[in-house]
């Protein structure tokens, strides 16, 4: 009798657990099925439809987004996992403005080995604390100190470009800009000059570029996801090797700098050898925080320096390169830009100041319009930790919400004739009525890009210093560059241009 009571209670408990999970699954299925999307199969969902080729996959996403454009919501099943793509301003607002939906999607875990649980990858209280701690490091007064670096490196790049000027063969400008922004981010994040723009191979630069590519490759290929498998294939071994180079370098620099006397954080100190102001880097500010509060450890500092290195190079390189493509394809825009630059700088080749940037309003519009059509971060993933309501329907906890910035920026209700490149859309008089979440290349709300002002200043200095010297002619359409919409939106086939000297 005692045995049968035991058996019955086990069966009852198991049934209760099973019923609980089944009810949960059915609830998710029931709620998600209220949203439209391509027909799905049991178990695999829509995974069998996905193109393996990166370019074809991006085109497929564009085609799907178009199909469900009127609502700006599209449902997909990644196997048994529900995914909701949203790309109307009012839906973006629901997720982006909330301080509850801040958990990054699963694919961000592939950044953990490199970036740890730093600002980009952490969530909950840890993220909140870090964000509060780091926000002052991006204050305008700190960024102004970086203008020297932006000018110095973009002058080096413009000088190097002279060899391409007036030659009949086009060249790929994307790698040149990437090396320039790598020099800038190493100098501003770590206070270290690595001379990526120099001729020689640099182990650290090679590792940053290779690591970024490997992480993107792994995100795209679910069969690369289990560590046990990944660690034993060629990509995984390369990943491990890069990781050693990257962490060795940042650890070495942090330790070196810790031995030195702290630098004046207002950048007022003179360098006795160089005879000019000693620059400060983000690292100096982070070390100061460590001195004041050792619970912010050296490992925490490394996470943040690595995060700035990762987030601060590909994004800005892509944005500046796409802008050059757009300028090179629109002669009327180029003429207006040259007129504005001539008005501010005349014949002078002096460095650009923060005040000059304020005056370069048309450049600002050109850059913003480029980020509309070619947002460096084309989409963002959020793992819902609680239900939310989008378009009057409940989206259940556990759904991966993909905020489609690329598609959002093409909403004809917000941007009539959306494929047309028209910088005037961003003149003050044309943008005041737009929904605040219709244009979000840097995301918006509590989890927006902390480096937004840095990126805008840096890229505008790079572009202005190039365009003061050269005219540019692009030989591809955007389509012909074969854009890929991965973690970063980048041209698969590079950006080929011809340059001619202005004077
Ligand atoms: C054109 C250049 C850039 C664009 C378009 C851009 C865009 C973005 C976007 C869309 C996000 C949100 C990502 C998400 O929620 O998953 C983000 C986050 C972030 N960005 Fe940027 N970014 C740029 C440049 C930079 C630079 C130069 C830095 C650093 C120096 C930087 C540092 C960060 C960090 C640390 C985060 C995470 C913030 C947080 O979660 O609190 N970004 N960026």
User: Partners of 83 in the beta sheet?
Assistant: 76, 400
- Residue 168 in 3-state DSSP? coil
Does residue 313 sit within a domain? Answer: yes
- Cα 172 to its chain centre, rounded Å, is 22
The answer to whether the beta carbons of residues 84 and 35 sit under 8 Å apart is: yes
Q: What is the pLDDT of residues 368-392, one digit of tens each?
A: 999 999 999 999 999 999 999 999 9
**Owner of token pair 């080729």:** 53
Closest residue to atom 14 of ligand 1, CA basis: 380
Q: Is residue 387 part of a domain?
A: yes
Let me know if 358 is exposed, middle or buried by CB neighbors in 10 A (0-12, 13-18, 19+).
exposed
Q: Evaluate: CB of 454 within 6 angstroms of ligand 1.
A: yes
Closest residue (by CA) to atom 16 of ligand 1?
A: 380
Query: Which atom of ligand 1 is nearest the CA belonging to 458?
Result: 27
Q: Is residue 64 part of a domain?
A: yes
* Residue 42 CA, ligand 1 centroid: distance in Å: 37
| Best CA proximity match to 463, nearest among 335, 363, 362 | 363
Residue-level pLDDT at 25? 84
Of all protein residues, whose CA lies closest to atom 11 belonging to ligand 1?
Answer: 449
* 380, 405 contact by CB (below 8 A): yes
Query: 364: Cβ below 6 Å to ligand 1?
Result: no
CA distances from 367 to 206, 323, 371, 376, 447 (A): 28, 6, 6, 12, 22
Distance (Å, whole) CA 188 – CA 288: 16
**2, part of any domain:** no
**Residue 68, domain member (yes or no):** yes
pLDDT at site 333: 98
* Within-domain flag for 38: yes
The closest alpha carbon to 73, from 97, 92, 47, belongs to: 92
CA 122 to ligand 1: nearest atom: 40
How, if at all, do strands 171-172 and 379-383 pair?
A: unpaired
Q: Whose CA is nearest to atom 13 of ligand 1?
A: 380
Tens digit of each residue's pLDDT (9 = 90 or more) over 31-53: 999 999 999 998 888 888 888 78
Instruction: State residue 20's pLDDT score.
Output: 76
Q: 21: helix, coil or strand?
A: helix
Q: Which atom of ligand 1 is nearest to the CA of 381?
A: 16
CB 74 within 8 A of CB 39: no
Residues 503, 396 contacting (CB under 8 angstroms): no
| Number of domains making up the chain | 1
Q: How far lies 408's CA from each of 112, 364, 500, in Å?
A: 29, 20, 36
**Distance separating alpha carbons of residues 271 and 268, to the nearest angstrom:** 10
What is the domain-level CATH number for residue 171?
A: 1.10.630.10
What's the confidence (pLDDT) of residue 9? 82
Q: Is residue 17 part of a domain?
A: no
Q: 457: Cβ below 6 Å to ligand 1?
A: no
With a cut of 0.90, is the ipTM above it?
Answer: yes
- Distance CA(491)–CA(359), nearest Å, equals 31
Helix (H) or strand (E) holding 362: helix 361-373
CA distances to 222, 302, 336, 338, 412 from 370, in Å? 32, 33, 16, 17, 16
Give the closest residue (by CA) to ligand 1 atom 17: 449
Taking 3-state DSSP, the helix, strand and coil percentages for the chain, each rounded to the nearest 5, stand at 55, 10, 35
Instruction: Decide: 166 and 154 in contact? Cβ < 8 Å.
Output: no
Describe the strand order of the beta sheet including 496-501 as a list of residue ranges: 171-172, 496-501, 470-474
Q: Is the beta carbon of 447 within 6 A of some atom in ligand 1?
A: yes
Does residue 460 line the site of ligand 1, with CB under 6 A?
Answer: no
Give the integer Cα–Cα distance in Å for 472 and 326.
Answer: 10
Domain housing 147:
24-501
Does residue 450 have its Cβ closer than 6 Å to ligand 1?
yes
Q: Is residue 14 part of a domain?
A: no
Distance, CA of 496 to CA of 483 (rounded, Å) = 13
The reply, when asked if residue 449 is annotated as ligand binding, is: yes
Q: pLDDT tens digits, residue range 484-500? A: 988 889 999 999 999 99
- Mean pLDDT, 10 residues at a time, the chain of 503 residues: 74 82 85 93 85 88 92 91 95 95 90 94 92 89 92 96 91 94 92 83 84 85 89 96 94 89 67 63 91 92 92 94 98 98 96 97 98 97 94 95 97 96 96 95 96 97 98 96 91 96 85
Helical spans, DSSP H, in 97-225: 112-115, 124-134, 140-145, 147-161, 174-190, 203-220
Q: Are 213 and 221 in contact (CB under 8 A)?
A: no
Mutate to test the pocket of ligand 1, among 315, 437, 445 (most ligand atoms within 8 A of CB): 315
Query: What are the backbone dihedrals phi and psi of residue 341, each rounded to the nearest 5 degrees, phi first?
Result: -65, -40
Residue of 184, 449, 489 to mutate, ligand 1, most atoms within 8 A of C-beta: 449
- Match 């003429």 to its residue by tokens: 335
Token pair of 380 as six digits: 């963002």
- Ligand 1 atom at minimal distance to the Cα of residue 319: 1
Kind of pairing, strands 171-172 and 470-474? Answer: unpaired
- Cβ(402) to ligand 1 under 6 A? no
Q: What is the pLDDT of residues 406-460, one digit of tens each?
A: 999 999 999 999 999 999 999 999 999 899 999 999 999 999 999 999 999 999 9
Determine the pLDDT at residue 230: 96
Structure-token match 């995100």, residue found: 219
Do the beta carbons of residue 267 and residue 279 sit within 8 Å?
yes
Q: What are the helix and strand counts (H, E) for the chain?
A: 20, 11
């Amino acid at each position: 009798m005692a045995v049968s009571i035991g058996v019955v209670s086990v069966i009852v408990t198991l049934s209760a657990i099973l019923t609980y999970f089944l009810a949960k699954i059915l609830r998710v299925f029931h709620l998600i099925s209220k949203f439209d999307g391509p027909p799905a199969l049991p178990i695999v969902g829509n995974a069998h439809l996905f193109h393996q080729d990166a370019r074809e996959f991006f085109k497929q996403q564009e085609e799907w987004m178009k199909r469900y454009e009127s609502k700006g919501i599209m449902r997909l099943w990644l196997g048994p996992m529900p995914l909701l793509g949203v790309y109307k301003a009012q839906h973006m607002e629901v997720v982006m403005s909330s301080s509850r939906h801040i958990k990054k999607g699963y694919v961000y875990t592939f950044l953990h080995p490199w970036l740890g649980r730093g600002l980009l990858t952490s969530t909950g209280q840890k993220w909140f604390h870090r964000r509060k701690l780091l926000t002052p490091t991006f204050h305008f007064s700190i960024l102004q100190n970086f203008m020297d670096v932006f000018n110095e490196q973009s002058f080096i790049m413009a000088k190097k470009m002279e060899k391409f000027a007036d030659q009949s063969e086009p060249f790929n400008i994307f790698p040149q800009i990437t090396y320039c922004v790598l020099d800038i981010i190493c100098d501003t994040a770590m206070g270290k000059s690595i001379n990526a723009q120099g001729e020689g191979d640099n182990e650290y630069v090679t590792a940053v570029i290779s690591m970024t590519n490997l992480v993107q490759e792994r995100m795209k290929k679910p069969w690369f996801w289990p560590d046990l498998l990944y660690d034993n294939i060629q990509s995984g071994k390369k990943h491990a090797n890069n990781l050693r180079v990257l962490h060795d370098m940042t650890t070495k620099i942090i330790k070196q700098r810790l031995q030195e006397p702290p630098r004046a954080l207002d950048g007022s100190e003179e360098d006795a050898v160089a005879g000019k102001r000693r620059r400060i880097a983000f690292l100096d500010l982070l070390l100061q925080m460590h001195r004041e509060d050792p619970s912010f450890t050296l490992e925490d500092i490394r996470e943040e320096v690595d995060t700035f290195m990762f987030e601060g190079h590909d994004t800005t390189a892509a944005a500046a390169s796409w802008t050059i493509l757009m300028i090179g394809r629109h002669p009327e825009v180029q003429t207006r830009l040259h007129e504005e630059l001539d008005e501010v700088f005349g014949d002078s080749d002096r460095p650009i100041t923060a005040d000059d940037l304020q005056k370069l309003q048309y450049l600002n519009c050109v850059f913003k319009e480029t980020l509309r059509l070619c947002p460096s971060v084309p989409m963002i993933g959020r793992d819902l930790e609680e239900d939310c309501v989008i378009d009057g329907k409940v989206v259940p906890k556990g759904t991966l919400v993909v905020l489609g910035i690329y598609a959002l920026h093409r909403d004809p209700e917000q941007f009539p004739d959306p494929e047309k490149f028209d910088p005037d859309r961003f003149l003050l008089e044309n943008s005041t009525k737009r929904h605040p979440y219709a244009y979000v290349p840097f995301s918006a709300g509590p989890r927006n890009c902390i480096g937004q002002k840095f990126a805008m200043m840096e890229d505008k200095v790079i572009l202005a210093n190039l365009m003061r010297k050269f005219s540019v002619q692009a030989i591809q359409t955007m389509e012909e560059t074969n854009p890929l919409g991965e973690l970063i939106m980048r041209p698969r086939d590079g950006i080929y241009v011809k340059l001619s000297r202005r004077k």
